[in-house]
Amino acid sequence: MFRTTDPKHPGVEKVMQQGAVNIGGRVTALSEGEYPSKYKGLYLRPEEARREFEQRGWTKVAAFQTRNPMHRSHEHLAKIAAEVTDGIFIHQVLGKLKAGDIPAEVRTRAIQAMIDNYFKPNIAIQAGYPIEMRYAGPREAAARIWSSDAITPASAVTMARSMPSTFSMSCGTARCCVNRSRSM
């Protein structure tokens, strides 16, 4: 996934520290830790996000996942996506980051200021989740989408215009993920 074995890479370092055995498969969360209370109103479980989309009447949603404050290029991508979708879902990483990354508390305030002051009303919402970054670039973003219970991958961005879908953007890389198993 990382295309490197350099132990200085934060993702490689994390994997190497995990030990000899790694187990995969279905996961049941026994505890969500501090996230639901620390990020009240921002921390949304997948079913809560889908409910929010439904309440807003959104059937086509552009999702922007980030671990950084949004800059002008991100804002531009989101506004382009807003032209072909019903709403923008700005999805924050609230989990562990590498040293020097901007803390979630700062990012969330910056992104909310952008939503409040630079987006059309009711076109964008912000949420977050406690995933830990692996710093694997587009492969990591694709792995998250493939493992999501909310969406399945599709090959053509044009599908976003023709059926209820979720359009995901990550650091300038756009891809379309169509939800065939659930209605939003």
| Confidence at residue 143, expressed as pLDDT on a 0 to 100 scale | 56
Instruction: List the domain boundaries for the chain.
Output: 41-178
Q: How many residues are present in the chain?
A: 184
For the chain, what is the mean pLDDT? Answer: 74
Q: Whose CA is closest to 166, among 180, 149, 148, 178?
A: 178
Classify residue 107 by burial, with Cβ atoms within 10 Å: 0-12, 13-18, 19+. Answer: buried
C-alpha of 58 from chain center: 17
Whether residue 108 is predicted with pLDDT greater than 70 in this model: the reply is yes
Please indicate whether residue 78 or residue 178 has the higher confidence score (pLDDT). Answer: 78
* Residues recognised as catalytic: 67-68
| Closest to 127 (Cα-Cα) out of 29, 33, 45 | 45
Please tell me the CATH code under which domain 41-178 is placed: 3.40.50.620
- Spatial neighbors of 76 by CB under 8 A, at least 6 apart, are none
Question: What does residue 9 show for φ and ψ, rounded to 5 degrees?
Answer: -70, 130
For 144-161, the pLDDT digits (tens) are 554 444 433 332 233 233
Segment 47-76 shows an average pLDDT of: 90
Residue-wise pLDDT tens digits, 16-34: 888 787 777 887 878 888 8
Look up tokens 């490689």; give the residue. Answer: 12
